[in-house]
């Protein structure tokens, strides 16, 4: 799939100006593509299909009005076949610094790996439903592997841990997206936390089987994640 198809369609519809689209296209090539290459290089594993959503994705939050979702890992079924895609919001590409973008791409990759591990083992039938953004932060942490158990890249691990202590935090990026995108009336999508889930038919999940060497690597990453979290709780 062309990761920029929806962005190009938004340009043709006039939903986004040429200036905004050119900015996203330029930064996608200069930051996102190298980020995905970096993740694949340090893990030896392929990144799932990814595409740019030409809108800000927001989620209502009782205390703060709304939260901005910069990327999402989305399981889908296409013609009966299970797939996972990573949705990357255009505002992230347009305004995110390299470290933030690479951290978010890596965080979604951790989601993807844990999702595939659980499906391969038969431990997952459907995603959990959470009622608000605060609860989603903690459910989110339980559905990812530890960065240090996956990436052989200290700088990348540092970026992830710095920004994902308890949910994603980057005040500069959040301010830019609100001021430069949302307040200017550019496209946005509202996704309630209880909508940020996907139901997958059991027969589609049961057909997913990873190559033995990949399944073994994911299980090793999971066990290492458990050890890291256990040590953290001790201290």
- pLDDT tens by residue, 198-224: 666 667 667 778 899 999 999 999 999
Average pLDDT for the chain: 84
The answer to which of 35-49, 73-87, 209-223 has the lowest mean pLDDT is 73-87
The pLDDT of residue 134 is 39
| 141-162: average pLDDT | 86
Distance CA 29, CA 43 (A): 21
The pLDDT of residue 135 is 41
DSSP state letter for 142: T
Query: Cβ distance 218 to 120 under 8 Å?
Result: yes
Distance CA 7, CA 95 (A): 16
Q: What is the CA radius of gyration of the chain?
A: 18
| 11-35: average pLDDT | 97
The pLDDT of residue 200 is 66
- Residue 83: strand pairing partners: 76
As a residue count, the chain comes to 235
Residue 62 has pLDDT above 60, yes or no: no
| 128-145: average pLDDT | 51
* b (16+ CB within 10 A) / e for 13-45: eeebeeebbebbbebbeebbeebbebbeeebeb
Residue 138 has pLDDT above 70, yes or no: no
Distance CA 179, CA 54 (A): 17
How much of the chain is in helix, strand and coil states, percent to nearest 5? 55, 15, 30
The pLDDT of residue 1 is 74
The pLDDT of residue 37 is 98
CA distances from 219 to 47, 143, 149, 151 (A): 18, 14, 11, 15
pLDDT tier for residue 143 given thresholds of 50, 70 and 90: low
| 24-47: average pLDDT | 97
> In 3-state terms, what secondary structure has residue 196?
coil
What's the predicted TM-score (pTM) here? 0.87
The pLDDT of residue 18 is 97
């Amino acid at each position: 799939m062309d990761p920029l198809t929806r962005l190009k369609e938004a340009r043709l519809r006039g939903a986004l100006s040429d200036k905004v689209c050119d900015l996203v296209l330029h930064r996608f090539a200069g930051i996102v593509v190298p980020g995905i290459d970096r993740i694949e290089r340090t893990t030896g594993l392929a990144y799932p299909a990814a595409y740019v959503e030409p809108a800000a994705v927001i989620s209502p939050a009782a205390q703060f009005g709304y939260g901005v979702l910069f990327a999402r890992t989305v399981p889908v079924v296409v013609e009966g076949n299970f797939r996972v895609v990573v949705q990357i919001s255009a505002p992230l590409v347009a305004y995110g610094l390299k470290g933030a973008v690479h951290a978010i791409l890596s965080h979604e990759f951790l989601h993807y790996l844990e999702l595939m591990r659980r499906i391969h083992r038969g431990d997952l039938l459907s995603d959990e439903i959470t009622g608000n953004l605060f609860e989603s932060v903690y459910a989110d942490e339980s559905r990812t592997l530890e960065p240090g158990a996956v990436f052989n890249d200290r700088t990348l691990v540092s970026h992830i841990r710095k920004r994902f202590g308890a949910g994603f935090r980057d005040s500069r990026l959040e301010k830019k997206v609100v001021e430069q995108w949302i307040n200017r009336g550019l496209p946005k999508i509202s996704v309630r936390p209880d909508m940020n889930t996907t139901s997958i038919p059991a027969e589609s999940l049961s057909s997913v089987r990873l190559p033995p060497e990949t399944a073994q690597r994911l299980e090793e990453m999971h066990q290492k994640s458990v050890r890291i979290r256990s040590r953290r709780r001790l201290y």
